[in-house]
Amino acid sequence: MKMDIQAKSYPTRGEFKISRSTVRQVDIVELHLSDGQYLGRGECRPYARYKDTVESVTAQLDTIRHWISAGDVDAAYERLPPGPAKNVLDAAWLDFTAKKTGIPVWQQLGLAQPASRQTAFTLSWNDPQVMAEAAREAAAYPWLKLKIGESGLDRVLAVAKARPDAKLILDANEALTLDALPDFLAALTGLNIALIEQPLPAGHTGRLPESLFPICADEGLHTADDLTTLWEQGYRAVNVKLDKCGGLRAGVSLMREAKDMGFRVMAGCMVGSSLAMAPMMVAESLCDVIDLDGPLLLKEDITNGLKYEGPTVHPPTPDLWS
């Protein structure tokens, strides 16, 4: 078995801003596994918030070359910790296996055949009037995800006024405080809020205040080991990202356990190409909310990318993944 690691960059469609950072391009790692006849591919996005870089992911993958060369991919997978390196190996291996056996990944993992779904569309952090105009321009999208920060209420109110029809996901990326959160939640009464995502820093102490809207853990969730603590803190939804939990197989197990506990599950993503979104689309049947708009935020997607028709994203074709 041959492993090929490729570092790539995708320029974003304009600046992409959240509460703690601004990016103009995303740097990804693409992994190929081949036996000379069949080729499996995967993509991950090393993310600075979790101290991952293209170099660190590449170094992790280099440590497992011996097992890959010997054809023992399962042993290589077990030696990687949860994170983007494990995710990209898992994706490439599942894709390879599906192509070699002719059995699609959804069948391998005991999932329902994937269906087309509506994805949320992300509005980057900006001035309230700019975000309101962006919301109007995104009239085709019934789900809007707003990147907000400590002073985000005026942004929420501006977008809600511009698009009263839209279901809003508010993503603070850890920017709020426990003291400020009750007043923030009270000010949202009457608005069409679907989820409030990671308002407080991951690892915070103290229980979340009562909320009319489900509060969703993102940065605070990595693996199934985090679920009990999150539930005790008052989270009632989780944003599952394969670059955090370590790939689709781990993600499916995590989503099933979360749903058994009573959490709502959101399919999340880092900004990346359709190759990074494809594995999660295969598991869409486990997800209550889909947030897989990463390719829509890029200037150009990978060849044979996912088909987006307005807010509807279709499952991957074998030309892309599995």
Q: What is the dihedral of CA 103, 109, 114, 119, to 10 degrees?
A: -130
Nearest CA-CA partner of 150 in 173, 129, 126, 175? 175
- Looking at domain 2-104, its CATH superfamily turns out to be Enolase-like, N-terminal domain (3.30.390.10)
pLDDT in tens, 175-205: 999 999 999 999 999 999 999 999 999 999 9
pLDDT for position 180: 92
Going by C-alpha positions, the residue among 154, 108, 165 that lies closest to residue 131 is 154
The predicted structure's pLDDT at residue 35: 97
Between CA 3 and CA 35 the distance in angstroms is 9
- Give the pLDDT confidence score for residue 17 in this predicted structure: 83
Radius of gyration of the chain (CA): 19
Report the 10 Å Cβ neighbour count for 31: 27
Give the pLDDT of residue 84. Answer: 98
pLDDT one-digit tens code per residue, 222-272:
999 999 999 999 999 999 999 999 999 999 999 999 999 999 999 999 999
Q: DSSP 3-state assignment of 126?
A: coil
> Sorting pLDDT into bands at 50, 70 and 90, what band is 18?
confident
* Residue 195 exposed, middle or buried by CB count within 10 Å (0-12, 13-18, 19+): buried
| pLDDT computed for residue 136 by the predictor | 98
pLDDT in tens, 21-75: 788 999 999 999 999 999 999 999 999 999 999 999 999 999 999 999 999 999 9
Q: Return the residue matching tokens 């055949």.
A: 113
Q: 117-313, superfamily in CATH?
A: Enolase-like C-terminal domain (3.20.20.120)
Q: Report the C-alpha gap between 6 and 58 in whole angstroms.
A: 9
Question: pLDDT tens digits for 113-157?
Answer: 999 999 999 999 999 999 999 999 999 999 999 999 887 899 999
Sorted by where each begins, the domain ranges of the chain are: 2-104, 117-313
Residues 6 or more apart in contact with residue 110 via CB below 8 angstroms:
none
pLDDT at 298: 97
Q: pLDDT at position 15, please?
A: 83
Classify residue 76 by burial, with Cβ atoms within 10 Å: 0-12, 13-18, 19+.
Answer: buried
pLDDT above 80: residue 19 = no
